[in-house]
Structures are given as structure tokens and as C-alpha cells.
């Protein structure tokens, strides 16, 4: 009997000893899986934070881009407005060319108009704008006189009509003519230092 008991003891020891490595292996495997799961959760939280930061940066960049587009459009509009305003002023060194253009406009009006006196006022204190004063006189038919006035009004510069007089007269043959006299001023932009 002794033999059978020792065999049974050995058999039960063998059964429990063969389960120990398997149990240890299962515990180590479960612990490894738990660690892997915690690592995956940590990585996903880290990635979620990175995604949120990237999303915030994209939103900020989109807002900046929208602002820059709006600013660029405003600058283009302002540049066009400044350009339009600059075209209406005569630069100080462009006064002779303006007078030539003005005399050509007078001759194309069809009336017998002539440029009289021309003077350039000094700018006001702290200003870069001077006034170029022009006196124009001419004669012609009513249509020619109105063509001259219309020509003066339609100039693309900042030409101001300070005074305008129309006087009718009859010549020896009884034909009615109109005399036109106008005092004008044009803004001249001086060079800024």
C-alpha cells in the first residue's frame, strides 16, 4: 500500500505543479494585456489632446486667414481710393503739363477761349496742398459757351469753379455772342519731405 500512496501523492503533485506554470503564465498574460490596454488608453488620450490642439490651431489659422483676406480687400479698396484721389490732384512738378492739357481742352471746346492769368498760392501752414488759380475768358455762340462750361466741369481733376459769368452781346451784324469769364482753382500737391 505504501507504494500506491506514494504514487498518488506524486500524481497529485504532478497535477498541481503542471498547473502552476500555466497559472503563472495566465497571470503574466493578463497583466500584460492590462498593461497594453492602459498603454492604448494613454496613447489615445495623448492623441486626442494632440487632435484638439491641432483643431484649435486650424481654427486660429482659418480666423487669421479670414482676417488677412478682409484686410487685403480693404487695402485694395483703399489703394484704389487713394489712387483715384491722387489722379485728381496735380503734382507740383506736373503744373506745366496740366496747363498744356487745360489749354488743349479750351481749344477743343469750340469757343474762342483763352487762358488768362495763372498763379500758384503758397500752401497753408503744415499743408502739402497749394491752389493753382486760373482765369479763363472766351466768346462764342450759346452752344460754344455751354461747351466751354461743360468742358470745365467735366475735367477729371479737382478743378473748382470759383466764379462764372455769362454776358450776352450783339455784334454789328446783329448776331448774338456770349462772353464767358471764369475764375478757377486746381489743387496742387507739393512734394513731401
Q: Give me the CATH number covering residue 171.
A: 3.30.70.60
Residue 17, in any domain of the structure: no
Residue 136, in any domain of the structure: yes
| Cβ neighbours around 118 below 10 Å, total | 14
- The CA distance from 182 to 99, in Å, is 15
Residue range 87-121, pLDDT digits in tens: 777 888 888 888 888 888 887 776 788 888 888 88
What does pTM read for this prediction?
A: 0.53
Residue range 47-89, pLDDT digits in tens: 999 999 999 999 999 999 999 999 899 888 888 877 777 777 7
Residue 52, in any domain of the structure: no
Residue 135, in any domain of the structure: yes
Question: What is the domain count for the chain?
Answer: 1
Residue 9, in any domain of the structure: no
> Which among 97, 99, 117, 104 has a CA at the least distance from the CA of 162?
117
- Which domain, by its residues, includes 96? 91-189
Share of the chain above pLDDT 90, in %: 22
Crossing angle for the helix pair 95-108 and 142-153, to the nearest 10 degrees: 150
Residue 15, in any domain of the structure: no
Amino acid at each position: 500500500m505504501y507504494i500506491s500512496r506514494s504514487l498518488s501523492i506524486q500524481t497529485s503533485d504532478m497535477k498541481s505543479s503542471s498547473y502552476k506554470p500555466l497559472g503563472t503564465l495566465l497571470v503574466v498574460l493578463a497583466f500584460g494585456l492590462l498593461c497594453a490596454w492602459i498603454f492604448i488608453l494613454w496613447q489615445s488620450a495623448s492623441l486626442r489632446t494632440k487632435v484638439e490642439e491641432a483643431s484649435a490651431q486650424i481654427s486660429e489659422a482659418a480666423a487669421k486667414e479670414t482676417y488677412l483676406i478682409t484686410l487685403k480687400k480693404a487695402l485694395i479698396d483703399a489703394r484704389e481710393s487713394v489712387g483715384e484721389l491722387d489722379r485728381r490732384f496735380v503734382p507740383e512738378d506736373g503744373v506745366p503739363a496740366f496747363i498744356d492739357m487745360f489749354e488743349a481742352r479750351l481749344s477743343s471746346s469750340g469757343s474762342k477761349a483763352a487762358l488768362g492769368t495763372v498763379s500758384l498760392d503758397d500752401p497753408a501752414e503744415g499743408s502739402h496742398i497749394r491752389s493753382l488759380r486760373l482765369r479763363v475768358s472766351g466768346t462764342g455762340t450759346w452752344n460754344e459757351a455751354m461747351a466751354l462750361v461743360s468742358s470745365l466741369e467735366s475735367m477729371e481733376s479737382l478743378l473748382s469753379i470759383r466764379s462764372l459769368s455769362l454776358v450776352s452781346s450783339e455784334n454789328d451784324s446783329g448776331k448774338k455772342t456770349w462772353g464767358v469769364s471764369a475764375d478757377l482753382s486746381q489743387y496742387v500737391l507739393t512734394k513731401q519731405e
